[in-house]
Amino acid sequence: MRSRLEWPLWEVFVRARRGLSHVHVGSLHAPDAEMAVRNARDLYTRRQEGVSIWVVPADHLTASSPDEKDAFFDPAADKIYRHPTFYSVPEGVEHL
């Protein structure tokens, strides 16, 4: 069996409609960026699920940390004063 598939992996992001962000929908293999966009259209938007596609080589993504369950996000945990519900408002005060 010649020609093993060794095309790079691309992550695919689709904007469902104007006004929304691109959202990650999955990944695929393609030899280059142009083919990745075409393959992404055929694979992820067969039913008009998008108006715009981004493809990014998977090995160009940098993630926050190898273990998604670590202390990286902990500093935000004890800062509840960043939320409006932290503050007490006297009865009857509106538009605040």
Residue ranges that bind other proteins, judged by CB under 8 A: 1-7, 9, 11, 26-29, 31-32, 35, 42-43, 46-47, 58-59, 61-63, 66-69
Nearer to other proteins, 4 or 83 (CB): 4
Q: Cβ(9)–Cβ(31) under 8 Å? A: no
Instruction: Tell me how far, at minimum, the Cβ of 7 lies from other proteins, in Å.
Output: 7
Q: Which is nearer to other proteins, 4 or 79 (CB)?
A: 4
Structure tokens at 70: 């670590």
Are the CB atoms for 57 and 9 separated by under 8 Å? yes
Phi, psi angles (nearest 5°) of residue 57: -60, 130
